[in-house]
Chain A
Amino acid sequence: MLDKNRTREIVEKLVSYTGNYAVVNIYDNGERLSKFANSQIVHNVETEDVLVVLTVYSGKKEATCSANLYDDESLKQLAAKADGILDLMPEGACERFPLGEEAVPESRNDSRLAETFDVEGRVGAIRRCVETLEAGFSAAGIFALYKNMHAFGNSDGVFHYHYADYVHFDTTVTHESGATGYGGMTATRLEDCDAEGAFKAAYDKARAAVNPVYAEVGAYTVILEPAAVDGLLRFVATGLNGDNFLSGMSYASGRLGQKLFGENFTLRDDVNNPETIQCFFDAEGRRRTSITLIENGTLEQVVHDGKTAFRAGVRPTGHALGSARGSSHPANMVFYASGGYPINLVMDGGDSTLEEMIASTKKGILVTHFHYMNYVDPVTAQVTGLTRDGTFLIEDGKIKAPIHNMRFTESMLDAFSNISALSRRRERFGTSLVPAVKIENFHFTSGQK
């Protein structure tokens, strides 16, 4: 992993090699991932990938070049290439909010994670889980240790460095009849790593999911476990991207200050919450701020990077995304690269529990998580997706039967306006922290028959 001194040296070199104003982002993403299926290892991989991203500016022109090579010669080539593109460009349109001096807190890293979860540690943890399975059940999933380094520097001498490990485990337990159950956990501290607990949850779900029945399509009261809520929130969050907001391609466009959701829906992006995965600066070197996106149903704020903030005439919020390849975005291109994205989603909980939500439901559906969600229409925030790995019919306050997966098609504006209960307890999913919720009048539009 590139350390602070080495990354600072790379920044300084690039700044000196280019003839233009330079912004440098360096990512070093180590991935140690053990994947299992049919209760045994199917892929076991360890990769390193450094990415040096140089953006050069001149007037309103901007060009970005990146490479995973950082020897002296390669850095010179990178700078020359970026300068060359800039020289030949017609006048651009890049206007940015200037970056001031900001103090950025140091990231914390629990070094015990990497020590504990080397390859033997990961495979051992998976083995302890699958050894608990009785005949007729098998498990698939991953145990991964991610090592994330991000450094930022520019021609003004600003320099920030972040390094932190986290682990992610998720699993689907499958019964030979086809019934499945899901469980997962993300942790930045060793004491929060409970793969066996997540595995047991998946196993219990799979057992309960045997012999499913078909439920009728229609509107239901749904109880969404935190993993399912997190899935929906991604679509609420995408609408809060500065670019989508300004282009009109979002339910949020032109509606700041309006009550779009129910009174009991409050969503923040809170990098300061230690339960999320923290990195205190963004790809433009700004201090990532904690902001209230939605307060008691009212759209308070959207996120911006320097460019969309400039266009919107507001201050950037510190949510700029870097090069797509630096993130885990599959496109290796520039899809969400502009406008920023809230990655530390924290949703307020309530005073209920999952058990109370079930007990108070006359007829409803309990959802473990969703699969393959997509916007049907970003302007109405209509989203579709399917239930997966544990979907149950509730009748008269009790789980009556497992059901085959169902497709929902629902506007997020309606869904988060119809919350009738929220759990006190919240769970971490990836970078977010979310409760379980109960939503009324949620539309399942087709099944698997």
Chain B
Amino acid sequence: MRERLAELMAYCLRLGADCADIRVKTIDTESVSLENSEIRGINSDRSVGYGIRVFLDGSAGFAAASDFDSMEKTAERAFKIAKASGMLQTRKIALTPKPVVVDDYATPVEIDPFTVPMSEKIALLMACEEAMGAVPGVTQTSSSMDFRREDVVYCDSDGSYITQKFCQSGGGISATAAGEHGAEARSYPCANRGAHARAGYEYLLSLRLKEHAEEIARESVQLLNAPECPTGVYDLILDPGQMTMQIHESIGHPTELDRVLGYEAAYAGTSFVRAGDLRDGLAYGSPQVTVVADATVPGGLGTFGYDDEGVKAASTLLLDKGRLKNFTTSRDTAGQIGLLSNGACLADGWRHAPLVRMTNINLLPGAYELDELIAGIEDGLMLSGTKSWSIDDKRINFQFACEIACEIKNGKRTGRIFKNAIYSGITTQFWANCDGVANEKYWSMGGTPFCGKGQPDQTARVGHGSSPTRFRKVKVGVGDAG
């Protein structure tokens, strides 16, 4: 493979390209879905192909195909596209330098999920289904597992050649109680097919889905009969599951440099953060808020050896005690603000061109015990389970709904729960009101395998590490009175 790809890169140069790179990927996925103690779907997919990116006089072209007999033709097509891009290219694309690397990387895996018998996977989920279904009042149960294996070869015309093997495992369970007055769902570890990590089957086992089945089922029934969440201004503690979405939408996306530079203006959107805010160290949040983009943390969904431009995985400080320090960048975008790429340029599969992506955007642990965070709240709520999420195109105004709100009064949990907890805020005001992050004992990696961005639409697998975090004076409810 190596000689063949090196020869193809040389061919791109002979066509007249300034430089070129290629990603060859083989992706296997498997998913198992159960509902109401019945198998609802067993899906297995294999996708093999390659994408060639060609640069010519400051313009780029990308062509992808799965026909390995006509790689030269695909290269010619990418070259032709780069030439056409030149018809409308006032600022020439300039890639920041990077070292030539020959290396390999593999996700550490204890149990290869693709070797675990299907019957075992079904049995595990079936046990969860039955435990949930046995709780009186539960009307619907669902459970799933998803596995993904990627073999990636990166090669470029500078001589880099990198092979990587990624393995992703995860799953989740959900119980719904429906009655005359609506329906309430509880999920574990989180909604939308659960939690995922770059790890083997051992990660799925570590989630202990079955051990949580009865509890969430009971909670769904309790929620159906629970009062509506009160509205007003409250102090909140968000659990790591909800923090995942909070960090993702209101820190991760706004600090992607391509968004800041307007590349996504027509679709995913831009950012309230400007490139110049880096110089001034924009006040993004309180001194409690220190956030890194860390592609090296074990198990993260955004953990790898090298990004899709062949740049080594890094840990970059994005927010230091609340101050803006950096962005997630690619070779093209970093150069525009005088920096080097920090290795956050990723492509979804082989058929897409790489673009700036979050890796693992992690809020570093603070100094608090969870009980201390709770003790500091006179009248507040602890929220878990993302149910709904939305944020504007500049990432200023967000609104989330959670599955469950637990009441906190006079520094203690009262045991009361509420349904339909909705909270909203303005990004920088909200993070400025963050006054406590729980310590590393409570810290865990989470993430989402469904981050959509780009045109064509690409899906990224993004990690987020966090611990329970306290925010003061948050608007709860959607009252529009003022």
Contact = CB atoms under 8 A, between A and B. Distances in A.
Interface stretch (B285-293, B308-316, B389-397): B389-397
Nearest to A378: B183
Contacts of A61: 39
A37 B64 contact: no
A42 interface: yes
Interface stretch (B80-88, B358-366, B369-377, B405-413): B80-88
B46 A67 contact: yes
Nearest to A63: B42
A33 B481 CA distance: 44
Interface residues of B, number: 91
B45 A67 contact: yes
Contacts, number: 282
Contacts of A94: 39
Interface string A331-355: 1111101100000000000000000
B85 A38 contact: no
B140 A247 contact: yes
A45 B64 contact: yes
Interface string A302-342: 00000000000000000000010100101111110110000
Interface string B257-285: 00001111111010000000000000000
A174 B263 CA distance: 12
Nearest to A61: B39
Nearest to B119: A88
B169 to A, nearest CB: 14
Contacts of A384: 388, 390, 399, 478
Contacts of A405: 392-394, 397
Contacts of B45: 65-67, 323, 325, 332
Contacts of A170: 266-267
Nearest to B33: A334
Contacts of A144: 455-456
Contacts of B149: none
Contacts of B59: 41, 44
Contact of A37 (B63, B84, B118, B263): B263
Contacts of B388: 374-377, 384
A247 B142 CA distance: 11
Most buried by B among A34, A90, A372, A385: A372
Interface in B81-117: 81-82, 84-85, 87-91, 117
Interface in A434-448: 443-448
Interface string B41-69: 11111111101000000011111111100
Contacts of B42: 62-64, 85, 89
B182 interface: yes
Most buried by A among B91, B183, B266, B391: B266
Nearest to B93: A42
B455 A142 contact: yes
B459 A449 contact: no
Given A138-B262, A247-B140, A388-B392, A446 B178 contact: no
A138 B450 CA distance: 30
B452 interface: yes
B62 to A, nearest CB: 4
B397 A377 contact: no
Contacts of A409: 399, 422, 478, 480
B457 to A, nearest CB: 6
Contacts of B118: 85, 88-89
B60 A44 contact: yes
B7 interface: no
A210 to B, nearest CB: 16
A330 B264 contact: no
A356 interface: no
A39 B44 contact: no
A49 interface: yes
Contacts of A216: 482
B220 to A, nearest CB: 12
Interface stretch (B16-24, B321-329, B349-357): B349-357
B31 interface: yes
A119 interface: yes
Contact residues on A (Cβ < 8 Å of other chain), bracket:
35 or more
A33 B456 contact: yes
A19 interface: no
A211 to B, nearest CB: 17
A185 to B, nearest CB: 13
B390 A379 contact: no
B43 A65 contact: yes
Interface in A14-47: 31, 33-47
Contacts of A447: 397
Most buried by B among A69, A92, A247, A447: A247
Contact of B63 (A46, A67, A140, A444): A46
A197 B62 CA distance: 28
B392 A386 contact: yes
B390 A374 contact: yes
Given A37-B263, A68-B46, A386-B393, A47 B64 contact: yes
B80 A119 contact: yes
Nearest to A129: B88
B450 A331 contact: yes
Nearest to B395: A372
Given A40-B89, A247-B176, A248-B178, A68 B390 contact: no
Nearest to B82: A44
A69 B64 contact: no
B479 interface: yes
A335 B193 CA distance: 9
A119 B84 contact: yes
Contacts of B131: none
Given A120-B84, A384-B388, A90 B43 contact: no
A66 B81 contact: no
Contacts of A379: 182-183
A124 interface: yes
Contact of B87 (A31, A120, A330): A120
A94 to B, nearest CB: 8
B62 A43 contact: yes
Contact of A372 (B91, B353, B391): B391
A178 B59 CA distance: 27
Nearest to B401: A376
A219 B482 CA distance: 11
A333 B193 contact: yes
A36 B88 contact: yes
A413 to B, nearest CB: 13
B40 interface: yes
Nearest to B184: A379
Contacts of A219: 480
B72 interface: no
Contact of B44 (A42, A85, A331, A377): A85
A323 B43 contact: yes
Contacts of B84: 34, 44, 119-120, 122-123
22 contacts: A33-B456, A38-B262, A45-B353, A46-B81, A47-B65, A49-B49, A61-B39, A67-B46, A142-B267, A217-B480, A217-B482, A247-B178, A249-B140, A330-B450, A333-B43, A333-B193, A334-B41, A372-B392, A374-B390, A384-B388, A386-B392, A409-B480
Closest 6 CB pairs of A and B: A93-B38, A248-B178, A140-B265, A140-B266, A47-B64, A172-B266
Interface of B: 29, 31, 33, 38-49, 51, 59-67, 77, 80-82, 84-85, 87-91, 117-119, 122, 139-140, 146, 176, 178, 182-183, 185, 193, 261-267, 269, 351-353, 355, 387-394, 396-397, 399, 401, 420, 422, 424, 426, 450, 452, 454-459, 475, 478-482
